[in-house]
Amino acid sequence: MSTINAVSPRVVSRAEWLEQCKALLAKEKEYTRLGDRLSAEKRHLPWVKVEKDYVFDGPNGKESLGSLFGRTKGACRSRWRGFVTMTGMKNKAVVS
């Protein structure tokens, strides 16, 4: 990890400044493209059938995923850090 130098930036000509800005812009665009590619890969991860009967405290007491989202069966995409995101429904719920 790089550290930020506490010394003030140097003063340069407009031409040098513009050159460095263009180089930084190219890096920013590549960063954005990489993020877009990673997001697309996440969206295309396979789904897994929800086998467990999850129960939540809903507005009407104990409720299942199906009663909360209007489906009796669902599919989900597994996410990192132990979370599961329900997909293909009106709303999205995160189940831990």
For residue 75, give Cα distances in angstroms to 17, 64, 68, 90, 96: 52, 14, 14, 13, 15
Q: Are 30 and 62 part of one and the same domain?
A: no
- What is the pTM assigned to this prediction? 0.50
CB 61 within 8 A of CB 52: no
User: Residue 56: which residues within 8 A CB-CB, separation 6 or more?
Assistant: 62, 63, 64, 65, 68, 93
CA distance 62 to 57: 5
Q: Are 37 and 58 part of one and the same domain?
A: no
Give me the domain span that covers residue 77.
48-95
Domain membership of residue 3 (yes or no) is: no
List alpha helices for 49-90, DSSP H.
65-69
Q: Are 64 and 85 part of one and the same domain?
A: yes
What is the per-residue pLDDT across 11-60, written as a single tens digit (0 to 9) for each?
A: 999 999 999 999 999 999 999 999 999 999 988 888 777 777 888 887 77
